Structures are given as structure tokens and as C-alpha cells.
Amino acid sequence: MEKAITVLPGDGIGPEVMKGTLRVLKAIESRFHHRFTVTEMPIGGNAIDETGNPLPPETIEQCKKSDAVLLGAVGGPKWDGMEQRPEQGLLRIRKELNVFANVRPVKAFGPLADIAPLKPALLENVDLVFVRELTGGIYFGQPKERKGSDEAVDTLYYHRKEIERVVKKAFVLAASRKKKLTSVDKANVLESSKLWREVVDETAKHYPDVKVEHMLVDNAAMQLVRNPAQFDVIVTENMFGDILSDEASMITGSLGMLASASLSEEGPGLYEPVHGSAPDIAGTNAANPLGMILSAAMMLRHSFHMNDEADAIELAVQEVLNANFRTGDISSNKDKVSTTDQVVEQLIYR
């Protein structure tokens, strides 16, 4: 198959984990006889440096005409306090591609005792997926302003249609999995959450096989730590999903392990690791590349319907972890820490 991929490496460890990911995709290309045409474009801090704009129009154009988009991460202290922020590039590309559903799988890879030495049993059978609303809610609502030195306002706004489309995606996913959907909200205090709950209940009528439960966000935060194996698909609004999915990332041992897919109704999906640009370790060949690489596997599966290819990557990841090639963030043995490049080498070799 021939596919066009736009690659946005970004800043910090973004280009480092992207480089390894492209090597893995090359290996997939030759093993399965595909052709991936890769076009790199600037976004974030490096785009500000080059063009004065965190999301140049050429980048948007290139993304829109490709089959899928891979993104590393943006941001860093270099651009702190500037009027143009790298993160604006990220929020805008999500809007431009209209990727309203952010899908984040959470699974414990590798020996559980390494991840949770005190309670390894807690992680057995954890296999859950977040579906986070990504283009609405308090990150985008207007008014959003600073009023003088003492007041500031953000607005949490949702239209029924914005909720319907993401909730539907979550039901479809749950129906293809363990058939359980947990909708997370704060309906005891927030009007937007009451509307959210209403939409979930209405949509549920079309998916009689899927068992639905509503959970308040504070309870969900607790349940994820207490018994994460109880969940299958979790659907929630933008900010709750942002926070809960970072919390849940620790189930995998590190933020550096988590992949995500951001999907629209039609048009290219945007695939990116959950972590940021990690300025503290950038340039040291220490970044865990697996979140980015597993995001590329999601791209193969969701956008290109290449299931065998995605399986091959996920299997190789499991094998590399079992063989104890681990970057520092997931290594329990500080004497045997692999570099980013070594982990990639090991993956390709399998």
C-alpha cells in the first residue's frame, strides 16, 4: 500500500523519538512491502524560530492532504514568556484537523513487579482506553481572559453535537472490546456535565450491548488507583480526560509509554505520544521512544487498517521490554539503562 504521512517532530525530545519511529516504519515498509512517503514540517517552538508562527500555513496544508499525521511534542523553556507559544501550534492543529476524539490506550507492558513493586497484582488485566473530547470544553471556551491583575476567567462550554460525536466514538469502541463504558463527569455541580450525562444516556439506547456507568471525576481519579482493571472504555470531556489519562499513564510505568490517536469524522488522524517535550532530558539520548512508536502502530491500525503491521510493532515492544532493554524512566535496574537509540535498534532487530 502507498501512504502519505506528514511528520511533525516538534521540540525537545520530539525529534529524538520521531527519528526512532521513522526507522521502525522503514522496517515495516520493507517487511510488509508498503511505501510510506514521509514529509517533515515545522510546528511549535522550531516553527516560531523559523517563521514566527507556531503553526505555519504550509504545515496545515501538508497535514490536510496526507493520509495521517505523526507528531512528536512541542514546547520548552526557550519559548517561555514569549507572546507566541509553541503549545498554540498543537491546539490549533487539533482544531484544523477537527480531531475531536483523543483515544489513549493504557495497558501494563512488561513485568508488573517492575512497575508496581508493592502491588503488582493491581495491574493484572489492566486494559483500558480513554476517549477524551479534544476540541471543546474549558481549553477553548470564550470568554477566556485575564481581567487586570486580580481576575481571570475561563469558560467551560459544550454544544450537544460536540458531545454526541465523541460519545458515539466511545460506544463504537466499547462495543468492539469488553462492552463496558464509563462516562466521567461532575454532574453534581457542573451544567455542562448534566448535558454530557443526558447525551450519554440517549446514545446508550442505540448500543444495548454496552453496559454504561456514570462516575464522578473525583471518584474516577480514586478508582483508577484503587482498581484500574475495572475499566474498559472511559469517555470524558477535555480537561478531565487530560488529567485522568496522565494519572493512568503511571499504570504503564511511565508517561513515555503512552500512545494516542486523535480522530475526526473523516480526514487524517493525528498520532502523538501523550508526553511533552521533556526539556530536562532532551538531547541526551535518554527519552523513551515507545510512546511515539506505539502511536505509529495506532496509525497503522486505525488510519491504514494494517493490523498485522501494528501487531508486529506491539509484539516487538513487549519482547524488548521482557528482554530488559529499557530507558531510565522504566528501568528498575539503574546499572542497565538503555539509550533511545538502543531501544530502537532492538525493536528493529526483532
| Binding interface with ligand NAI (CB under 6 A) | 13, 73-76, 87, 90, 255-256, 272, 275-281, 287-288, 291, 327, 329
Residues acting as catalytic residues: 139, 186, 218, 242, 246
Is 114 one of the annotated binding-site residues?
no
Which of ligand NAI, Mg ion, none does residue 135 bind (CB under 5 to 8 Å by kind)?
none
Q: Closest distance between Mg ion and the C-beta of residue 147, in Å?
A: 26
Which of Mg ion, ligand NAI, none does residue 59 bind (CB under 5 to 8 Å by kind)?
none
Is 80 one of the annotated binding-site residues?
no
Residues in the chain, overall count: 350
Is 104 one of the annotated binding-site residues?
yes
CB-count exposure of residue 183 (10 Å: 0-12, 13-18, 19+) = buried
Strand partners, 199: none
Which of Mg ion, ligand NAI, none does residue 269 bind (CB under 5 to 8 Å by kind)?
none
Contact yes or no for 257/249 (Cβ under 8 A):
yes
Residue number of the CB closest to Mg ion reads 242
Is 308 one of the annotated binding-site residues?
no
Contact yes or no for 260/246 (Cβ under 8 A):
no
Contact yes or no for 45/11 (Cβ under 8 A):
yes
Q: Is 133 in the site for Mg ion (CB under 5 A)?
A: no
Contact yes or no for 227/215 (Cβ under 8 A):
no
Which of Mg ion, ligand NAI, none does residue 281 bind (CB under 5 to 8 Å by kind)?
ligand NAI
Q: Closest distance between ligand NAI and the C-beta of residue 75, in Å?
A: 3
Which of ligand NAI, Mg ion, none does residue 242 bind (CB under 5 to 8 Å by kind)?
Mg ion
Distance CA 139, CA 33 (A): 42
Strand partners, 259: 273
- Within a 10 A sphere around the Cβ of 266, how many other Cβ atoms? 6
Cell of 292: 511515539
Distance CA 274, CA 258 (A): 6
> 44 vs 187, which CB is nearer to ligand NAI?
44
Is 154 one of the annotated binding-site residues?
no
Binding mask 238-267 for Mg ion (x = CB under 5 A): ----x-------------------------
Q: Closest distance between Mg ion and the C-beta of residue 246, in Å?
A: 6
> 185 vs 242, which CB is nearer to Mg ion?
242
Is 277 one of the annotated binding-site residues?
yes
**Helix, strand or coil for residue 73?**
strand
Residues 74, 286, 75: CA angle, nearest 5 degrees: 10
Binding site for substrate, residues? 94, 104, 132, 218
